[in-house]
């Protein structure tokens, strides 16, 4: 809120939708997963209480006219029950605000994806990293190719847009591994 009246560009094309102003929030710290390329891997996860977070967003909306929230943090969905409680708050309070976050697919059940969409989630930024089982294991990703193949259609069927990140050029990666990522 200290920056809200500063001359920043508050117009963020958030997942193909022109929503403005969009406020970026970090509501969590840490990540319990072991991805070998990540600087916050194996760190204690902690997050703002979902009702407190929802109240903060309500204040941003009423006081500053926020129309969108982007959770720019390592993994917003580490604790699915926290995310579900957050979504329940947004729905019950009828906040009607668009939001997006960064996530892993193994934290997302079909039920949670549906609730996220119902609460205003418009998109997910997902670290897929590779389509090669060998490289996913090498990276200690803790997710498999089939997880992405199974969850992406559910995410899209609920109207959410996805962006993905990929890691190329790790030691032992072969041309076949890269081809697996193109499939």
**Contact predicate 123/100, CB 8 Å:** yes
For 59-97, the pLDDT digits (tens) are: 999 998 889 999 999 899 999 999 999 999 999 999 999
**Model confidence at 17, in pLDDT bands (50, 70, 90)?**
low
Most confident of 21-35, 111-125, 166-180: 111-125
pTM as predicted: 0.91
CB-based contacts of 75: which residues, under 8 Å, 6+ apart?
Answer: 28, 31, 33, 45, 102, 103, 104, 107
**Contact predicate 18/62, CB 8 Å:** no
Task: For residue 6, give the 3-state DSSP assignment.
Answer: coil
Res. 6: pLDDT tops 80: no
Closest CA to 93 of 65, 52, 48: 52
Res. 10: pLDDT tops 80: no
Q: Residue 15: what pLDDT?
A: 58
Q: What is the mean pLDDT of residues 167-181?
A: 91
Q: Residue 9: what pLDDT?
A: 66
Q: Residue 18: what pLDDT?
A: 76
Mean of pLDDT over the chain: 91
**Model confidence at 5, in pLDDT bands (50, 70, 90)?**
confident
Res. 12: pLDDT tops 70: no
**Model confidence at 1, in pLDDT bands (50, 70, 90)?**
low
**Model confidence at 11, in pLDDT bands (50, 70, 90)?**
low
% of the chain surpassing 70 pLDDT: 92
């Amino acid at each position: 809120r200290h920056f809200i009246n500063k001359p920043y560009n508050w117009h963020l094309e958030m997942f193909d939708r022109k929503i403005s102003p969009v406020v970026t929030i970090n509501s969590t710290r840490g990540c319990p997963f072991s991805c070998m390329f990540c600087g916050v891997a194996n760190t204690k996860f902690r997050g703002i209480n979902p009702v407190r977070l929802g109240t903060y967003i309500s204040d941003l909306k009423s006081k500053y006219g926020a129309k969108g929230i982007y959770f720019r943090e390592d993994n917003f969905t580490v604790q699915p029950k926290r995310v579900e409680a957050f979504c329940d708050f947004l729905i019950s309070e009828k906040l009607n605000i668009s939001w997006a976050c960064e996530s892993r697919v193994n934290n997302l059940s079909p039920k949670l994806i549906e609730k996220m969409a119902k609460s205003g989630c418009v998109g997910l930024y997902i670290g897929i990293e590779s389509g090669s089982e060998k490289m996913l294991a090498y990276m200690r990703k803790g997710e498999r190719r089939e997880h992405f193949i199974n969850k992406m259609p559910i995410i899209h069927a609920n109207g959410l847009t996805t962006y993905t990140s990929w890691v190329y050029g790790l030691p032992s990666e072969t041309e076949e591994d890269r081809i697996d990522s193109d499939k």
